[in-house]
Amino acid sequence: MITLSFDDKQINVPQSWKDIRLGKYERWFRLEPKTRMEQIQLVANVCDIDADLLLNNPTQVFDTIFDIVRFVFDEYKGDALNRIEIEGKIYSIAFTEELTLAEWVDIESVFASESESRLSDILSILCRPIGEHYDSKKSESRKELFCNLTMDKALPLLAFFLQQRERFQNVSNLYSEVKQQVDQYLLLTRSFVENGDGIKLLPIWQRIKFRFLMRSLKKQLSKCSDFSSIV
């Protein structure tokens, strides 16, 4: 943190992510400045000051501060980590496939809310001491802990969560695509069996074998699709 003095005023300006806490960051991280005024407001939020202080001083003051906090406008390109040490304890975020139904329900509730503390809420749900099972009451009590986490420690955890969420979404999309293709294939094959003449020309023992293989195929693909409508 660097302190700038001008006109008998002092401004504490963050020099890196170490100087910004998650609780402050989540108040303004969704802002995407498109105009000069929005950019000034964002810089004021980063420095936790009123925008009028910047507007009522020479442009050089703003330019100096902007050059210092420019890092907040850059894309995070650091590591995505699922572990962190807090107050002597190792906390870990589970992989998406290991999350319980209760965790998923609470996470979705956070995403659906208008809370300004959504990021720290998510970490309080997902990140806990290794070996500890999910408990919503403990999660609630840890929100303040994550609000006070500096961003150099919080960003790798958030990056890991977003990475896992994206991977889960990709898997879900792939599953949906495979399911659609499997359903279409089985319907076409069923239509061939019921309406086509080719199968009728086969000896009865081959037709029986074909139907047996179709049932076997449905069973093998049951993990990818719902065959309740195909009889």
Domain boundaries, the chain: 2-73, 83-167, 174-220
pLDDT value of residue 191: 56
Place of tokens 């290794």: 130
> Residue-wise pLDDT tens for the chain (231 aa)?
888 887 777 888 999 899 999 989 888 887 788 888 988 999 999 998 888 888 988 888 888 999 999 888 887 777 788 888 888 889 988 776 677 888 888 888 887 877 788 888 888 888 888 888 888 888 888 888 888 989 998 888 888 877 765 554 544 444 455 455 555 555 555 555 555 555 454 455 555 555 555 566 566 555 554 444 433
pLDDT number for residue 99? 76
Q: How far apart are CA 177 and CA 174, in angstroms?
A: 5
pLDDT of 110 reads 83
pLDDT at 216: 62
- Record the tokens describing residue 28, joined without a space: 């303004």
The predicted pLDDT at position 19 comes to 92
**85, 115, 120, 121, 155 from 127: Cα distances, Å:** 11, 19, 10, 10, 13
pLDDT of residue 106: 85
The pLDDT value recorded for residue 226 is 46
What pTM was computed for the model?
0.63
State the pLDDT at residue 229. 40
